[in-house]
Each structure stands twice: as C-alpha cells, then as structure tokens.
Structure 1
Amino acid sequence: MKEPKKIGMLTPSSNTILEPVCSRMLNDLPEVTCHFSRFEVTKISLEQDALRQFDFEPMLRAAELLAHAEVDVIAWNGTSGGWLGFDVDRELCSQITKVTGIPATTSMLAQLEAFAENDVKTCHLVTPYIPEINERIAKQYREHGIEVLRMEGCSQTVNRSFSLVDYDRIEGMIKSVSALPADALSIVCTNFPAINRAEYYEQTYHMTLYDTIAVVLWQALKMVDINPRSIKGWGRLFTG
C-alpha cells in the first residue's frame, strides 16, 4: 500500500492552536498526513530565558523524533525567526537536514516565499506580541523588501495566552490596520486563532491574509508535491 506523504511539524509545547488547525486543513486530503513533535516554549519576549527556548539543541532533538516516522519534510511551525533573524531560521533548516536527511522549512521562511510568489511589497502586521517583538519582525521584513505600513499587537508574553485572544479583539486590530491599503495582511503567531476566520477577514477587509500557520503548511505541501489548491476554505493563499 502506498503511504500518504507525511509532513512533520515542530511545535511549541504550550501551543494549542496549530495542531487542530493543520488537522482540519488537511481533513479532505487523504494523500497527506501531519505529525507533530513538541519542545519547550512558554514565553515570547526578548529576555534571555525566552530567547534560550529557541536554542537549536532541543529543536533538533524534536526533529530527530519526527525523523523516526520517516516524514517527508520537517517544518518549524513557529515564528521565532521573526525576532531572532531569518538567517537563524535558514541555519536551523540546514541543521535539521544535516541531522535527519530531511528537507526543512519554517513559518517565517514560508511567509517570505508566499510574499515573493504573490508580489507582496507592503503589508500590515497583526500579532499578540509586545511592541519590541513586532518592531523586530518589521525590521526583518524590511531587510527582505517588505515594508510594514501599520502594526498592532496585544502586548502579551505568555504563549498559552495567545490562543485565548478573542475574535472581537483580533478583528479590532485588523480593522485598525486595514484602514490603509496594503498588499497583504500578515498574521504572525502560530498560537493565534485568527486563521479560523481567514475567509471572513479577507472578504470584510479586502486583503489577502498570510497567516504563519497557513503559509508553512502551504509551503510544506509544495515540498511534498501536493498542490496547495487542494486546501479549500482557508483563504486566498490556497486559491491564487
């Protein structure tokens, strides 16, 4: 029997959003399955204890466990490259492939690829993060040719709390930034429930939503030769 393609996801330990979202997105695609490996992440800030959570060693251990399942690609379904630097994500992918022999990507690198493929030059940024994190993400975007016009955040640092931000607050942030036209709406955080209303936000605020959960699955599907257009009901990224 031919096995389905297998996507491995590295997952923050306190994340409760990305696993059910990815499972629902793939529900009608029997030709691909998603598998998860966690490592400790509980806090998002620029303090040293928070930054140390993204040292490569625990991430590589989690990647090796995914390799036991003989997954076809390993994706870091997280956004730390936004404040640590996209080059850190590139090095992480290189190390994962060196250790496991499996191609790798990350949410932030997938965001860049999606922007490039759709000729995005300007965006608005919405996150649950503190302003200092948002500023670093905007700086990374700028260095890669993407100008952040407006940004909004919730000023939270506890990763578990990100999943509990209510939809009214999320919509308020999206409404605020979208008063100014931009090529894209960038939602950065893989423990943030905005993705669940992707099509509503796109139709209401007239911008394509690039959510970091969606983009990494979009790129991982391409890496295993599955057409992302097979995904229905999760926004224009999958229909363009």
Structure 2
Amino acid sequence: MSHRWKLGLLTPSSNTIMEPQAANVVADLSDVSVHFARFGVTEISLSESALGQFQFAPQLQAAELLADAKSDVIAWGGTSGGWVGIDNDHELCRLITERTGTPATTSTLALLEAFKALGVSKYALVTPYLSDVQSAIETNFAAQGFQCVSERHLEDKGNYSFSEYDEATIERMVREVAQDKPEAIAIYCTNFNGTRIAPLLEEELGIPVLDSVSFTIWHAMLLAGCDASRVRGWGCLFQETL
C-alpha cells in the first residue's frame, strides 16, 4: 500500500482562510491531505490577554488530536512567533514532538526557512496587523539576520476580520512594497487571503511572493519527507529545497 501523506495544521479558531487555501495548494496531489485542529485565537495584539492565547497547553492539546490522525507532521499554522518570539516557536515544536513523536514546525519558522532556501536577506512585509505587532516582527526577524526594507500593514487587531480583506487590497500592498526592490515579499498572516494571488504577482513582478499558507505547507511537506516540488502553480518556493 502506497503512503498517504497527512499534514496536520493547528488552526486559530477564528481563521477561515487557511483551511480552504491549504486544501487548494495540495489539491492536485492524490496522496497528500491536510487536517486541522483548532484552539482559541480571536485577537492579535500585544495586550496581556491576546498574548495569553498562545500558551502551550491548548496548542499541545490540539496537537495531540492531530497525532490521533497519524499526521506525518504537525504545523502551527499561525504567525505568532513573529511577535511573541522565535524561541517560543522552537520550544512549541520541541514540546509537540516530545508529546506526539511527530515532527513539528510553525508558519514563522517556515518563513525563515523559506528565506534561507531562496537566499533572501532583505524582505518586504505585508500584514493586516497593528503597528506595534508589525514592529515586533521586524525586530525579531532582524535578530535572525533578515532585514525588512519595506512594509505595509492595516492597523487591525482582529483575527477574524483579517479574512474579510479582499485580494485587491492585498495585491495593492504587495505592489507598493515591490517598488522598494526587496529580495522577497512575505504576505505574513494565515488568515489573510493572499494564497491565490501570490504566485500571479510573483510571476509578474519577478520577486518571490511568499504567502503564509503556501510556505507553511511547503515546510510541512519537507519535514514529513514528502516531495514539495510536486506542487505546481503555487510559487517558486516549492521548487526550492533546504
């Protein structure tokens, strides 16, 4: 019997973009499927209550449910590591693997690995987030050796509301930061609907446009030992390996 690759994604409870778009990315691969477990996330800010949403206990409980489905990898499909801290994501992955025996990653760690795979040191950042969240992301990424040369954000704290921005809004933001000649553009939020337009803009602009759903799937596939290069039409990253 041939192996069926099962990618497990931990999903913010108010996210309505990641599940359908992740399924779209792997839709042409009959032996790859995506599976989801949710935990509570309703606000993105630096307030104590918002940061408290990312305590490990609920994430680990959700990860255990994905492990019940014999997932080949478990990915936290959220970008909180960008403002909570990269070390936080590394520790979460360690605990998931310790608890479930399954390789783990996060959207933030996936983006940093994508930058490395593409040889990117200067990037542009497109998000729906608040200014202080955006600044925290830039600071944490700079500590990892990645310089933000241009950014756009929408001053929204709301995780559900992120999904309500249309593709035209995200496209405008991407085009604006592209004028500053970054080596790559990150659409950084898994509830921000950039997945479909990212490869189209990438081809037009001649700059890698990295969407959070897509690069999370890419890194999850690599960790699972699944050939990510079989994914076609969702951006150049899938033809890159670490």
| TM-score, structure 2 normalization | 0.96
Percent identity of equivalent pairs: 43
Which deviations, in whole Å up to 9, do the C-alpha atoms of 1:42-71 show, x marking residues without a partner? 110111111111000000000011111111
1:26-175 to 2 correspondences below 5 Å? 26-175=26-175
**Distance in 1 between residues matched to 2:97 and 2:29, nearest whole Å:** 26
Offset, 1:2: 3.6
Task: Find the residue that maps to 1:151 and give its secondary structure.
Answer: strand
Residue 16 (structure 1) aligned with residue 16 (structure 2)? yes
**Distance in 2 between residues matched to 1:87 and 1:100, nearest whole Å:** 20
Which deviations, in whole Å up to 9, do the C-alpha atoms of 1:209-230 show, x marking residues without a partner? 1222111110111112221111
Task: Find the residue that maps to 1:15 and give its secondary structure.
Answer: coil
Give the letter for the 2:84 counterpart: L
**Distance in 2 between residues matched to 1:97 and 1:238, nearest whole Å:** 25
Give the letter for the 1:149 counterpart: V
Give the letter for the 1:144 counterpart: Q
Task: Find the residue that maps to 2:36 and give its secondary structure.
Answer: strand
> Structure 2: which 5+ residue stretches go unaligned?
none
**Distance in 2 between residues matched to 1:227 and 1:5, nearest whole Å:** 10
Task: Find the residue that maps to 1:111 and give its secondary structure.
Answer: helix
Aligned residue number for residue 235 of structure 2: 235
Give the letter for the 2:231 counterpart: I
**Distance in 2 between residues matched to 1:171 and 1:33, nearest whole Å:** 28
Give the letter for the 1:165 counterpart: Y
**Distance in 2 between residues matched to 1:213 and 1:199, nearest whole Å:** 12
Task: Find the residue that maps to 1:192 and give its secondary structure.
Answer: coil
1:167-206 to 2 correspondences below 5 Å? 167-206=167-206
Which deviations, in whole Å up to 9, do the C-alpha atoms of 1:13-53 show, x marking residues without a partner? 11111111111111111122111000011110111111111
Task: Find the residue that maps to 1:125 and give its secondary structure.
Answer: strand
**Distance in 1 between residues matched to 2:166 and 2:133, nearest whole Å:** 21
**Distance in 1 between residues matched to 2:229 and 2:113, nearest whole Å:** 16
| TM-score, structure 1 normalization | 0.97
Greater shift in the superposed pair: 200-209 or 37-46:
200-209
Task: Find the residue that maps to 1:193 and give its secondary structure.
Answer: coil
**Distance in 1 between residues matched to 2:5 and 2:172, nearest whole Å:** 39
Runs of 4+ with deviation above 4 angstroms = none
**Distance in 1 between residues matched to 2:166 and 2:24, nearest whole Å:** 20
